[in-house]
Amino acid sequence: MVRVKRGTTSNKSRKNTLKQVKGYRFNRSNKEREAKVAIAHAGNHAFAHRRKKKSDFRRLFTIRINAALRALGHSYSKFIDKLKKKEVTLDRKVLSQIAQESPEAFERIVAQVAK
């Protein structure tokens, strides 16, 4: 029988693992065991932060709206309350964009809601 060497599969796996951690610092970029741990941790962080990104952006929208409202002499919480009572269906993302890109339009919205 012909001898079969099985190194190709493990070499390919090792190469792929090390290719994924290219640019990592310390031993993570050139030692397979360290690299596997680094990949696992990176994956966990990526998963968690994809979820966290949504709350980070919502917080940013709130800050932008509040800053625009303070300049007009209103408070964020009272404005949002009035929006809900008037049944205006603009969400925070859209309000934030309007406040940032066209302050005149945002002023008109605030005036409409403040009545």
SS (H, E, C) 43-98: HHHHHHHHHHHHHHHHHHHHHHHHHHHHHCCCCHHHHHHHHHHCCCCCCHHHHHHH
pLDDT at residue 5 greater than cutoff 90: no
Task: Give the per-residue pLDDT at 31.
Answer: 94
pLDDT tens digits, one per residue of 18-45: 999 999 999 999 999 999 999 999 999 9
- Say if 1 falls within a structural domain: no
> Is 3 among the domain residues?
no
In a domain? residue 19: yes
Question: Is the residue at 34 inside a domain?
Answer: yes
Q: What is the CATH number of the domain that holds 38?
A: 1.10.1900.20
Span 52-106, pLDDT tens digits: 999 999 999 999 999 999 999 999 999 999 999 999 899 999 999 999 999 999 9
Q: Give the end-to-end CA distance of the chain in Å, rounded to a whole number.
A: 91
> How many domains does the structure of the chain reveal?
1
Residue 47 domain flag:
yes
The pLDDT score that the predictor gives to residue 114 is: 86
* 2 inside domain: no
Q: Which domain holds residue 81?
A: 8-114
